[in-house]
Structure 1
Amino acid sequence: MADQKQALITNLQKADQAVKSQIDADPTLPQTEKDRQKAAIDRGEAQTMGQISVAADATAAKQVANTGTTTNQKIYVPGQTITGDSGQAAQFKVQVTDQSAIVQQAIDAAATKGQITANQQINLTQQLQRVVSAAQAAGTAATTADQLLTANQKLTNDLTSVQYNLAINIASYQLLVAYNGADQAINDDPTLSNQEKAEQAEIVNVRWNTGQQSLVAAKTVDEVDQFTSDTVAAINQVHHGGQPVDERMQSYTAKIQASAAQAVAQINQDKSLSPTGQAVIVEAVQNNRDWYLHELQGLKASLRPKQWSKTI
């Protein structure tokens, strides 16, 4: 009885090994699928061997062995053929065409929107064409599923590289648009003084430079998009209007009057001056005060808001 069971186990193992050899030799299966099928056979074999060992008699043991052998043979399922119109290689080539078309559409759309230059469009298209040519050649040369998997992974990486370069070009454009827009808004703002314009423009410049440095450090398209979004938002937050001209007039008028009043008070308290001397100097201060106030009113009446903001 024991010898019969051992013979059944040996035959089971030989049959399973024959199936696993078929799997290993099958070019239509990638290695991961080969490993999965062989592991399933090993599990079935172990289960069948255990059932043989506890079988009540030789007949039961043989029945278990036959069932186990048949079950394990069914585990092996070949893949789709590599060649032919509907083979794996042909399907891969269709994938190359479809995926590259999506990237080309993105390149052309960016050019239409003015987000990339004509030269950048040409360079990106040429890069994409090289990717497509290499992938199609790999598909033609492939004789195994693993070779096609390798070609597919390379295709994915190469298309990602094209998309990354496109994203960098678009990001540079978007940062420049944000920079120019903020700079123009600051320069055209009549409520800002020259000093205030210079200060805001410097902040814009710093944030633009920081954004450019972030793009250099970006490793993925998602990082490029995030850095771009953050930088554009930061640049757009810089410009804010200043004090309106009328309010500035009131402020400067008050300052002139206060300065004049302070000077008059100091003159009147100066005991080294005679009353006549005090009166002469006070009159001079008040004349200066009136002259400055008159000049302010004249500027307000004669200058446009933009000229006024530059003057003050």
Structure 2
Amino acid sequence: MAGENDEDATVDKSLVVNVLHSLTKEVARLLESARKQAKDSLQDFASSNVNALGASIGLYSEAFLRLGVITRKALDEVLGRFYRYQEIQSAVEELDDLESDWNAFLKDTESQLSKGEAQSSLSIGSPGPCDIELKDARTGRPSTIGSYLCKGNVIVVLLRHFACLPCRDHVAQLQQRAEDIARWGGHILVVSFGSREGALQWLGITGCPFDMVVDEDRKVYSSMGLGRSISKVWHISTITYYAEMKASGRTLPSKLENIEDDPTQMGGDLVVDRHGNTAFIHCSKTPPDRPAVDDLIKVLKDLRKDEEKSVRQDLEDDGPPRKIFKS
């Protein structure tokens, strides 16, 4: 983080020190409270009290704005310009240590709660989770991923929770490229582990045009190895992502009223080809971690090439058409 550039004329050293000390103090207070709650009851902390860590989003967002930036990268650049000063170095190191402690606490807490990372039963080329019983979000009728294979190679988008901002952004990006996806033989299917009532509200809020099913037993999620993770959801990198969104003027979605939800559930993307086999797997490492739409389209293009190659091979194996001689 050290830098030797001239400091920013619009930000003075005393302001930088003040912002860093204030941010560190308030984030440390949240961490100390979380530690006490986890010590009192690990289960209560993980199930509900952990949400209090969300206050850190506002703290980071406020720090960004006070220094005239809206991203963590820009903040680090500002700090780099002042890093020649010992008091800046000390303040930066103090914040870095605190963030490391924050992440370590969450990782340790998670290790006490879980029996290890969830494991995927899928691999490229293996049968996809096509027969798992699901429910159509709009009609309430029974459904499966396999029932959509007649529409093409299915891009399955597994949401984290109904108020997940990066999930909504990912679906919106897919919607913008829907014609390209259809052109290359793709069909988009959104999956939620939430209730049908919540899914209907989500569809109304987002205007999502895609087919949607609910997987209330999380069997599709389990098949991909997608479990719950407080260490990933509340990691400092996730906090700063949401702080950047808030600082840039975006409104963070609110939890749906009277709908049970689980913000610690991880999401991902899956492509199942029209034969029911797994063609692509992406398990999100952090909440904002989603495959680029171009990468998904590339999977569809590769599947198209494979299909065309298979057709050509079949024709070659059959040999040239036989001539029919009339007598």
Between Structure 1 and Structure 2, the one with more helix by share is: 1
Between Structure 1 and Structure 2, the one with more strand by share is: 2
Higher relative contact order (CA closer than 8 Å, sequence separation 6+) = 2
